[in-house]
Amino acid sequence: MRESVQYALDNHDEACRPGEFMRTGSSNMGQRMDTMRVLAIHAHPDDVEILAGGTMALLAGLGHAITIATFTAGDCGSAELGPEEIADVRRGEAARSAARIGATYVCLEMRDLAIFNDGPSRRLVVEVLRKTRPQLVLTSSPVDYLCDHEAASALVRDACFAAPAPNYHTGAADPAPSLGAIPHLYWMDPVGGEDREGLPVAPDFVVNVAGTFARKREMLSEHSSQREWLRRHHGTDDYLDTMERWTEERGRRAGFSHGEGFRQYRGHPYPQSPLLQELLGDLVARGR
Ligand SMILES: [Zn+2]
């Protein structure tokens, strides 16, 4: 199960460019800054695209090295194909979506509705962190409509804490060295911006993704296997239009045509400085 993860991670090293410098785009993002390694990790294929695809496209456009990871390959996302068949389809969709912004795709090869915050799972996530070596991590909301999303959030939070501890061993066949520090950690919005009871979950800030929304829609369109599944199981009329309405709604509350919301995890001893906000400059507005 884990060989495919290892293969993808081994190949990812070439995409990382630590120590390089870049000149950013317009507005107040014109200062020179380090090229960051960014890990966007969520439960299932298409979650990152729906909740943070525009922001990932912005960061990729600024020259940062992006990895998109999912805990599962989405093996329950079909009523017609068996679990292995649909997982094969969805790995391909996720890889093509990531490629649209020059990102690398990694699948942790867990199974849908079977993500648990336990020792073996934590070791697997720590190994992904140590191999991708991100300074910036974005993951799922700790409150969301789906158990996998909530479990993934807790796993990533705790793995970020464990990854710099040299005495925490993952048991990988070729373990990567521990991180130098806990990375900056952010939560994406829950799906629909609500918790399980329908109460709104306000973001700390909203990123203006008007300039990359077309690319976000292209990325999500790669997940075409989900069109019929979401219509059948979630009652969603069209998953692309649903995503567009949500992105417009999140943006509207911050004065943008299209937006994506985030919260920064500030638990002790995680980094407190606003790294993501500074990378995006005046594309960021306070959330409501
Ligand atoms: Zn999901």
Give residue 284 CA to ligand 1 midpoint distance, Å. 25
DSSP secondary structure, the chain, as one string = --HHHHHHHHHHGGG--TT-EEE--SGGG-SEEEPPEEEEEESSTTHHHHHHHHHHHHHHHTT-EEEEEEEE--TTS-SSS-HHHHHHHHHHHHHHHHHTTT-EEEEEEE-TT----SHHHHHHHHHHHHHH--SEEEE--SS-SSHHHHHHHHHHHHHHHHTT-TT-----SSPPPPPSSPPEEEEEPPGGGB-TTS-B---SEEEE-GGGHHHHHHHHHT-TTHHHHIIIII--S-HHHHHHHHHHHHHHTTT-SSEEEEEE---TTS--S-HHHHHHGGGEEE--
Strand partners, 106: 69
Burial of 119 (0-12, 13-18, 19+ CB in 10 A): exposed
Structure tokens at 241: 């239009």
Whole-prediction pTM: 0.90
Q: Tokens 């939560």 belong to which residue?
A: 187
CA of 34 to the centre of ligand 1 (A): 31
| Rounded Cα gap, residues 148 and 27, in angstroms | 38
Q: How far is the CA of 70 from the centre of ligand 1 (A)?
A: 9
List the domain range (segments joined by +) for residue 68. 3-286
Instruction: Kindly give the distance from the C-alpha atom of residue 148 to the centroid of ligand 1, in angstroms, as a whole number.
Output: 7
Distance 91 CA to ligand 1 centre (A): 14
The total of structural domains in the chain comes to 1
**Residue 164 Cα to ligand 1 middle (Å):** 28
Instruction: Tell me how far the alpha carbon of residue 286 lies from the centroid of ligand 1, in angstroms.
Output: 26
Angle at 66 between CA 229 and CA 228, to 5 degrees: 5
Q: What is the pLDDT of residue 15?
A: 34
* CA–centroid distance, residue 149 to ligand 1 (Å): 6
Q: How far apart are CA 213 and CA 209, in angstroms?
A: 6
Measured in Å, residue 20 CA sits from the centre of ligand 1 at 34
Considering only CA atoms, which of 115, 193, 113, 194 is closest in space to residue 152?
A: 115
Distance between Cα 133 and ligand 1 center (Å): 24
pLDDT digits (tens, 9 = 90+) for 93-125: 999 999 999 999 999 999 999 999 999 999 999
From the CA of 44, how far away is ligand 1's center (Å)? 4
Least Cα distance to 42 among 9, 74, 75, 76 occurs for 74
Nearest to 163, CA basis, from 184, 139, 146: 184
Q: What does the pLDDT read at residue 85?
A: 97
pLDDT single digits (tens) 155-189 = 999 999 999 999 999 999 999 999 999 999 999 99
Q: 72 CA to middle of ligand 1, Å?
A: 9
Q: How far, in Å, from the CA of 150 to the mean position of ligand 1?
A: 10
CA of 74 to the centre of ligand 1 (A): 8
Give the residues of the chain that fall short of pLDDT 50. 1-27, 30-32
Alpha carbon of 55 to ligand 1 centroid (Å):
18
pLDDT at 33: 67
Spacing, Cα 202 to ligand 1 middle (Å) = 19
48 CA → ligand 1 middle, Å: 9
Whole-number Å distance, alpha carbon 62 to ligand 1 midpoint, is 27
- Output the CA 43–ligand 1 centroid distance in Å: 5
Q: How many angstroms is it from 207 CA to the middle of ligand 1? A: 21
The CATH number for 44's domain is 3.40.50.10320
